[in-house]
């Protein structure tokens, strides 16, 4: 009754999940029928216990929507002879399909353990057991009482299948496995140790529950006080193994002011990117099936406000925002706007003429950081001829180039930041350096300055 109760709950939530996304789940049982399964376990042969409990699970899975099952068996065709072993003894006994639960149960009853344990070869062959499908979760449940007996590498095979997107991380149920061998399966998949028949029954329930059901997950974006109150930020959850984006969502607080709860597949290992400025990345996130899971991210943010002091002549003036710590570019923010950034220090490069550089600007969560630059002025320049040189800002007895003249006539209108400037100019027709013209002038916010060299 305990077994049935757990499974009815599984079926209920599995049906709900199927209604939401209509994704098909395909489970291939890879079953150990090597000679060691003839051994006794709590007074009963291992093969009998495994077949009885798996058969009961197959009955209870009958009729679940969007579920297909298959059976691959190894070690059942060739008798094991010391010094000789058939490492190709693996067979797809029941191809993956829907409604074949009882067919698998019947085939299990015919199995007689005989041979060796070619786990890696069985996993390799299992890759071809899953036909192409765009909306399927391909899952392997390996039930074994022994380790690889041939020359294959189950870990390498499993990793390759996962990286190619053929399967998600397999489940491995060890039946009375020697403790010294358990670690060898941790790289193959999610390992569960069945120390006795009662544990095997419970573990089988847990594994199939994980294979079928989504689990509730809450993502806490922590503010400066450590409270989960940051929100309204897009984030992406990737399958870390395959690199595939599984969910693209915008974080939300519900009506009670708490982070909204998601329903996620518990099988993948997730990599999460929170698209703050700059983005936050967290890896190796796992979801525990049947238990509400919380992912927490330090995401305290503050506002950067960019403003003019007075009317501006600039169109869509941009500010390059860099992280002080590593000089990486975080954003290009337009003046007259407000953007949120992670709290910390930033260097700002405002694309005025000349450029305005502000270093170690602190953005905090308590109040907006306001950057106000003076409105520019205008230089109306008339040189009367083509030439070379430029306009230089005079600062601390140094000349900083603001505008470089090319070969053409530089006469025209220039929008410049307030300050004292020096014009340095030589006409193209002048062949001596001594004919260089130098003029000092001032630019004031919102004012025009005329400079006529004729």
Domains of the chain, residue spans: 2-212, 215-298, 301-374, 377-452
- Specify the CATH superfamily of domain 2-212: von Willebrand factor, type A domain (3.40.50.410)
Q: Do domains 2-212 and 215-298 have the same CATH topology?
A: no
CA–CA gap between residue 167 and residue 37 (Å, rounded)? 26
Residue 154's nearest CA partner among 133, 183, 123 is: 123
CA–CA gap between residue 152 and residue 85 (Å, rounded)? 13
Assigned fold of 301-374: Immunoglobulin-like (2.60.40)
Query: How many residues in total does the chain contain?
Result: 454
| pLDDT score, position 290 | 66
Tell me which DSSP letter residue 242 carries: T
CA–CA gap between residue 200 and residue 143 (Å, rounded)? 10
| pLDDT score, position 17 | 41
Which one is the CATH code of 377-452: 1.10.940.10, 2.40.10.120, 2.60.40.1120, 3.20.20.240?
A: 2.60.40.1120
* pLDDT beneath 70, residues of the chain: 1-22, 290
22 burial type by CB count under 10 A (0-12 exposed, 13-18 middle, 19+ buried): exposed
Q: What would the 3-class secondary structure string for 91-141 be?
A: EEEEEEECCCHHHHHHHHHCCCCCECCCHHHHHHHHHCCCCCCCCEEEEEE
For residues 320 and 349, the answer to whether their CB atoms sit within 8 Å is yes
Q: How far is CA 105 from CA 2, 91, 100, 166, 454, in A?
A: 21, 16, 9, 26, 102
| pLDDT score, position 198 | 85
256 burial type by CB count under 10 A (0-12 exposed, 13-18 middle, 19+ buried): exposed
- Specify the CATH superfamily of domain 215-298: Immunoglobulins (2.60.40.10)
| pLDDT score, position 182 | 78
């Amino acid at each position: 009754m305990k077994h049935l109760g757990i499974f009815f709950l599984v079926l209920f939530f599995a049906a709900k999940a199927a209604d939401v996304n209509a994704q098909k789940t395909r489970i291939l049982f890879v079953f150990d029928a090597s000679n060691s399964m003839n051994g006794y376990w709590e007074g009963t042969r291992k093969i009998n216990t495994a077949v009885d409990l798996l058969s009961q699970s197959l009955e209870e899975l009958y009729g679940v929507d969007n579920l297909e099952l298959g059976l691959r068996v190894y070690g059942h065709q060739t008798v094991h002879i010391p010094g000789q072993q058939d490492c190709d003894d693996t067979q797809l006994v029941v191809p993956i399909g829907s409604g074949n639960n009882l067919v698998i149960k019947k085939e299990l009853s015919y199995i007689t353990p005989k041979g060796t344990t070619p786990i890696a070869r069985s996993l390799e062959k299992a890759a071809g057991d899953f036909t192409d499908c765009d909306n399927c979760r391909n899952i392997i449940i390996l039930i074994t009482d022994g380790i690889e007996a041939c020359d294959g590498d189950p870990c390498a095979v499993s990793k390759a299948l996962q990286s190619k997107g053929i399967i998600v991380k397999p489940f491995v149920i060890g039946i009375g496995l020697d403790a010294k061998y358990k670690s060898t399966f941790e790289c193959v998949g999610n390992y569960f140790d069945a120390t006795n028949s009662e544990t095997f029954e419970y573990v089988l329930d847990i594994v199939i529950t994980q294979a079928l059901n989504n689990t509730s997950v809450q993502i806490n974006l922590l503010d400066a006080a450590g409270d989960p109150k940051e929100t309204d930020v897009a984030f992406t959850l990737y399958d870390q193994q395959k690199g595939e984006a599984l969910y693209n969502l915008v974080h939300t607080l519900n009506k009670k002011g708490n982070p909204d709860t998601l329903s996620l597949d518990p099988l993948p290992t997730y990599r999460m990117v929170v698209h703050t400025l700059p983005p936050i990345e967290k890896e190796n996130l796992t979801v525990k099936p049947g238990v509400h899971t919380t992912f927490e991210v330090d995401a305290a943010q503050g506002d950067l406000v960019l403003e003019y002091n007075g009317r501006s002549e600039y169109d869509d003036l941009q500010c390059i925002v860099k992280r002080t710590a590593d000089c990486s570019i975080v954003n290009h923010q337009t003046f007259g706007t407000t953007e949120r950034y992670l709290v910390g220090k930033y260097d700002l490069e405002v694309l005025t003429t000349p450029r305005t550089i502000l270093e170690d600007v602190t953005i905090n969560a308590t109040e907006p950081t306001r950057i106000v630059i003076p409105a520019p002025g205008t230089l109306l320049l008339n040189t009367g001829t083509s030439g070379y040189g430029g306009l230089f800002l005079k600062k601390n007895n140094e000349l900083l180039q603001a505008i470089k003249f090319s070969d053409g006539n530089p006469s025209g209108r220039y929008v410049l930041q307030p300050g004292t400037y020096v014009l340095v100019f030589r006409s193209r027709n002048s062949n001596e350096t001594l004919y260089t013209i130098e003029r000092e002038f001032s630019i004031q916010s919102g004012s025009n300055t005329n400079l006529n060299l004729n």
